[in-house]
Structure formats: C-alpha cells, structure tokens
Chain A
Amino acid sequence: MSIVREPPMITLRDTVMQGRRRWLVYSLGAVLILAATQMFAKQATDDLTSSGTWAIALAWSVPILMAGLGGLFSERAGVVNIGLEGMLILGTWFGAFGTMIGGPWFGMLLAAVAGGVGGLMMATAAVGFNVDHIVAGVAINLMAPGLTRFLSDLHFSDRGGSITQSPNISGVSSFSLPIFAGGTVFGWKSPDILGSIENAEVFWLSDLAGIARGFVFQMSWLTLIAFLILPLSIVLLWRTRFGLRLRSCGEHPHAADSLGVNVYKYKYYGVVISGALAGLGGGFLAIQLSGLYKEGQTQGKGYIGLATMIFGNWNPIGTARGAILFGFTETLRLRDESAAHALLLLVAIVVGLLLIWRILRRSGRLGTVQLAIVAVAVGYWYANSTGVPNQLPAITPHIAVLVVLLFATSRLRPPAADGLPFRKGDT
C-alpha cells in the first residue's frame, strides 16, 4: 500500500540498501547503537554485546521461535492457532518425561509428538468440525495445564518431583565452533579468533565479534537444530509444492479447492506441524533451558511466539528477529541488572532515531508527537534512576508487542483467509 502512495523518488534507502545488503547495514547499525548505548550508560556494562549474553539469548529465543514458526505454519494454512500455548505446555511436560525415560533426544521427540497430538485435536475441532479457531485454541489452552498437572501427580510425585514439577533432568551437550570460538577438534584446542577480538575492547568491532561469537560459542546441539528448522521452514513453505498448496489454503481456499488441492488435508498438516513445532519449543524449554518441568514455566511464550509471528508479518525471518529480541530481554533479566537499566537508554535512543527518521520522511504529525513523548519519557526515567524494577524486563516483550502493533498494523498483511471457516462447496 505504502508503495502506491509514495512519490516515485529514489531515496538513499533504495540505492544503498538493496536486498541482502540492506540486512547487513541494518545489523551493523544495530550493533553500533548497542555499542554506543554501552559506552554512554551510567553504569559500566558490556553485557549488551558480550558473547555470553548472546549465547544465552539465542537459547532463550528458541521456544519463542518454535512457537512463532508453529503459528506460521498454522496461519499460512488459514487456521489461527491460539492453542500454541497449550501445545507448548504439553511439550514441556512430555519433554521432561521423555528425558527421564530415554534421555534428552527421546524427550524432544516425545515433546514434538505430544505437541503434534495437541495440534491434531485443535485441527479436528477447528478444521474438521468448523469450530471457531479461537474457541478451539482456548479449549486446548484450558485442557493442557490440567492434563500436565494430573500427569505430574501420577508420574513425578514418587520420583523426586511433585505435582508442580519434575525431578531435575539433564540436557544435551554443547559445542563451540573451532577456530572462530575456540572449539576443540579431536582434542586440539583451536584458537578463539572472535574471542580475542572481543577481549581487545575496540569500540564497535569488539561488540560485533562478541555478538558473532555468541552465535557459535557453547551452543547446544538442540539450539543448532532449532535454528536449522528456520531455513527448513522457508524452503518447505516457499520452495516446494507442499508449501505452495499449504499457503494457497490460507490465501484463498476455494480457489485452491477448485484446482484440486485437498484443503482439509493441508489445513490438518499445517496445524499438526504447528503443534509439533510448539511441542519442540516446550521440550527445549524444559530440557535444555530449565533442566526440569515446572508448572507455569512457559509464561505465555506461546502467545509471545504468536505475536512475534504477527509483527514479523507472517514471515519466518521476521519471526526469528522478534524471537531473538525477546530472548535477549529475557537474558538481560536473568543476567545483569545494570544491563537491564541500560536497556532503557537503548529504548530512548532507538525511539529517538525513529523520531528523526519520521521527521526526515515528513510522516504523520500525530505519530511523531507520540514518539517524541515516549522518547523524552524513557530518557527522563533513565536519567533519574539507577535501576529498573525487576518486573520491567519480564513484561518488556509484552509492551514491545503492543507498541509495535500500535504503530505498525497498517503495514501488516495476514493471509487473506486467515481464521475464516472453510467448508467445501460453501462460498
């Protein structure tokens, strides 16, 4: 829409930031902002760009990413899946249970299967019986915690756990990339190039190295697999016949139907894959991140995943971006309070830059004024405080979701038939 309204003017953005190069420029700019924030922060911190923070942030973004990709498969097939939270919960319980029986890999498998069964139930109601999608999802979300609590009492209570949590379990091993992050190759301790650059503490360059190292340093095999699911999803949805058909069911099911696509089948596929992915996310949360199943440990990550997918504009890359952002805030909460405080400055700077961008582009005045108020308020808060309440980082994702949706809904485009009931023959 915006392309139509804009005057055909060649801007800096068009010339410099073409295609993939644009991504590179954005990322470098983002790191520059992080580095600057750290430099100007009142309390010294290097946790915003340290490899340790980013390694953990990456791991914490996995459940959200999995839920988001799950939502993607479901909504691209035209089914709104609010039941992701319930499927995530099923994943946490069965992941922990499977780990107790047969190790973490079996646990992940069981988590995916359990999530998939949740998805199948959801699909049966929403696709098979045309129950309203949100109602069906809510039903799953109501049922899942009860089921896991019931099962916990049966299986965990007499094995050192309780009705609300499982006994401790151990995850899978992790690895560091050789040469770049100091991994070992057949017993040979390779050099740690990125680590050395990070320790040199050169402005921006070390920050870049730190973040890059976070992506290859002490990463669990499960995290790697989770992030491999991302390109796999892209290929599956956009480069295969299966994906084309699945997406056609979300855009115009009757057209797909008229071309011989079995719409029901693809909707079922979409929702079951969705559940399996959410289950994997739950399993990862229990096995790898927490080391046990605990009631309420998902903390609405299913919903957050769904929201990331929405403001990732129903695209996998956008979803991953949001997931990493939320993994990052989650990590700061767990790790470092002064870094969490610096986050305020970061928000003020980002909003300020956005403000300048809007003024340069002469966008609507109301939005600009609102942004200015936000920037000044956050900046003032930062200047007059030494810390943030520990509740703030916890709810940052939720506030961010609301803010992004408030300012960006006009640019979002869901699949055309998303959430609509489908019955063959009805038009």
Chain B
Amino acid sequence: MSRLRAIRRVMGPPVGAVLLALIVASVILFVSGANPFVAFGNVIEYGTRLETLVESFNRATPLYLSGIAFAIAMRMNLFQIGVEGQYILAAFVAAYVGAGVGSLFPPLHVLIILVVAMLVGAAWAGLAGWMKVTRNVHEVISTIMLNAIAVGGVVSFLLGRWSIETASLDTRLGDIATTGWFPSLNPILELVTREIKRVELTGFILVAAVVGIGYHLLVNRTRLGFDLRATGTNPFAAEASGVPPKRTIVLAMLISGAVAGLVGMADLLGDQHFYSLRFPQGLGFAGIAVALLGRNHAVGAAIAAIAFGWLERASGILEVRGDAPREIVTIMVGVIILFAVIAYALAQRRGRIEAAAAAAAQVTEASGPDTEEADT
C-alpha cells in the first residue's frame, strides 16, 4: 500500500499536469476553431511513426543535457539560467576549433571538440560562480547578463569576423571535417526495425545517457554530491558540518557549465557540422522546463526530455493539416511546468504535514499516558 502511495506521490503531479495541459490545449484548439479530438488523433498517428520517434529522440538528447546542466546547479539551490549562453558560446568556439584543426584521427578530433566545448561552457559558468562567491552577485542576474553578452556580443561579433564566404547567404563558420562527425545509430536501430528514411538517430544520445548516469552517481554516490545536496537543503547546517560553501558553489557551476557545453554538440557533430546563424537556440531555457518537470532527477529528466521532444516533433502535423499553429506546444509546455511546480509544492507541503502528524502520533504513543498523568 505504502509503495503504491509512494508511486502516486512521485507520478501524480507530472501526470496531472500533463492532463491539465491537454485540457487547456483542447480548449484553445476548440476556441480557435479546430476539433481537439481530430487534432490529437492526428498528432498521435503522426507521432507514432518511426521517423517521428527518431526525431523526437534527436531533440530529446540536447534537451536532456540542458536539463541535467540546470539540475546540477539546482541541487544546491543555484538558479543557473545561463545554460543558454554557455552552450551557444561553447558550440561556436568548438565549431571554430573543430573546423580549424582540419582532419585528424576520428576519435581524437571528436574528443578535442567535446573538450573545448566543455571547457568554454565551464569557464562561462564559472565566471558567474566567481562573481557569486567573491562579490555576492546573485547568479540569476549574472547568468542572464552573461547570456546576452555571449550571444549578442561575443558570438555575434566573432561570427562576423570568422565567417567564410559561401554560395548561400547564411553567415557561417567553416565545415568540420568528416573525422569530427559523430556516427549515427541508424544501422544499429535498423537491426530491430525497418529501414529509417530521411532521419538519423544521433549517436550523441549515448553521451547523454552517460552524462545522466554520471550525474546520478555524482549526486548520490560522491562526497561532492552530498555537499551539493546538503548545501541545497540547509546551507547553514552544511557549512557548520564542514562543507566549504564557496568551493562547492564554484565547483557546481563549473560542472554545470561543462555539461551545458555539450548541449549543442548533438546538433554540431551529428547533424550540421558547422556553426551558423541558424544554429538551434532556446535549448537552454527549454532545459529548465525539463529539469523542473523531472524534479532534477536523472530518470525524471529523461522522461521529461523525451516527452517534450516528442510533443515538439509530433505537433508539426498540426500545421500541415491546418488544425492549429504548432506553437500550441509551447503553451502546453508552459502550462505543464506551471501546474507541475504548483502540484509539487502542494505535494511537498502535504508530505511535510503527514510526516509531522506521524511524528506527533509517535510521540504521543510513546509518552502519551505518562504525560496525561503528569498533566492531571
């Protein structure tokens, strides 16, 4: 029974939030003149095609990495809103270096690109961490400003400087040689499925899985992870018990930034192979949604990332069929987040009240008769 209740407590809020978001979306669809049942029927029909599923996982991969990057800092109550700037800056620099080194031994080439991206991401996040520990600048403000400086300033300026002439009008960097490409998983996937057309399952999904496992181990099995969680739960108690607060903050930001650096790599190494003005943006903010819905949990975030990835890809059909603009998904994601965080807050409060009641009951049970006698 208690196990069932535990499952309900964990799964209840997100499932409820998704259901509510579905209702909101239905109302919006209905008001804008489409039949919600037909529209959702189309989405499910299109969304269960093999190609759409592959695309969903391709999208989920960077979302997941972004969510984990946010979650690492969030575990110690650091609101790292800067994933957006960190991954774009990191992808830009990594693309420049990756194209600049020419052709190399493939694993080495990929490794160089990944390391550069992680270092750049870590450095940019570390800057915010440094500002926090030395000058007490709140990380929300500093990361938002650093986002704007990275995207609107550094990348925009250097892209103009370093761009190459091409036939297309796109402002872009040079191509990364094929030795720096990440292999697709299609051949492996096709062992169990039919032939996949047009799309390729990104191999970077394995890297994301490794990062997820690493995150889980880091937070739950290492001393640093314990320090993170302790500081997040009660900073004063943590400091009193010997956790160095400044060092932990900087470390959390550095690790978070390093993971953020990987966010753009799935697209860079698996799909585009160069950086341009059209490089995907907004993954950093989407990652916040993933982490919030997944409660900063490695598996929860994975489910959230896949769900959001699927919603985004499968909803493309709405526009094709003329049911509604696909932006309805963005609204749904927002609604899901809002309802989910409210539901989590309520569940947490209820949990606390139940725990307090249970503790009170234990106390009265243990010492009840005595105290009653003493009182009278």
Contacts and interface: CB of A to CB of B under 8 A. Distances in A.
Interface of A: 82, 121, 125, 129-132, 134-136, 138-147, 149-150, 153-154, 163, 299-300, 303, 306-307, 310, 389, 391-392, 394-395, 398-399, 401-402, 405-407, 409-410
Nearest to A86: B334
Given A130-B345, A307-B145, A143 B338 contact: yes
B349 A136 contact: no
The secondary structure that dominates the A interface is helix
Given A303-B148, A399-B145, 19 more contacts: A130-B345, A130-B349, A131-B344, A134-B79, A139-B338, A140-B338, A143-B331, A144-B334, A149-B325, A150-B331, A153-B327, A300-B144, A307-B141, A389-B160, A395-B149, A402-B142, A405-B135, A406-B137, A407-B135
B141 A142 contact: no
B148 A132 contact: no
Most buried by B among A139, A303, A389: A139
Contacts of A136: 338, 341
A138 B327 contact: no
Contacts of A145: 330
B288 A401 contact: no
Contacts of B329: 146
B145 A143 contact: no
Contact of A409 (B135, B285, B325): B135
A409 B157 CA distance: 30
Contacts of A131: 341-342, 344-345
A407 B136 CA distance: 10
A143 B335 CA distance: 7
Contact of A141 (B148, B285, B341, B346): B285
Most buried by B among A82, A144, A395, A407: A395
Contacts of B156: 391
A82 B140 contact: yes
A402 to B, nearest CB: 5
Interface size class of B (residues with CB under 8 A): 35 or more
Given A121-B338, A135-B341, A142-B288, A150 B325 contact: yes
Most buried by B among A125, A306, A399, A402: A402
B141 A405 contact: yes
A80 to B, nearest CB: 8
Contacts of B137: 402, 405-406, 409
16 contacts: A125-B338, A125-B342, A129-B345, A130-B345, A130-B349, A138-B337, A142-B330, A143-B331, A143-B334, A146-B334, A303-B141, A303-B144, A394-B152, A398-B145, A405-B135, A409-B137
A212 B144 CA distance: 34
A212 B337 CA distance: 48
Contacts of A121: 338
Most buried by B among A129, A130, A142, A406: A142
Contacts of A125: 338, 341-342
A131 B346 CA distance: 9
Most buried by A among B146, B149, B160: B149
A111 B140 CA distance: 27
A391 B160 CA distance: 10
Contacts of B338: 121, 125, 136, 139-140, 143
B103 interface: no
A398 B330 contact: no
A150 B333 CA distance: 13
Nearest to A401: B145
Which 10 interchain pairs have the tightest Cβ spacing? A146-B330, A143-B334, A153-B325, A395-B153, A150-B327, A398-B145, A149-B327, A398-B148, A139-B338, A139-B337
Contacts of B342: 125, 129, 131
A211 B149 CA distance: 30
A165 to B, nearest CB: 14
A422 to B, nearest CB: 13
B142 A139 contact: no
A130 B342 CA distance: 8
A129 B350 CA distance: 12
Most buried by A among B144, B335, B344: B144
A149 to B, nearest CB: 4
Contact of B131 (A140, A146, A406): A406
Contacts of B146: 398, 402
A242 B345 CA distance: 30
A389 B329 CA distance: 38
B115 interface: no
Contacts of B346: 129
Contact of A150 (B153, B157, B330): B330
Contacts of B289: 142
A134 B81 CA distance: 10
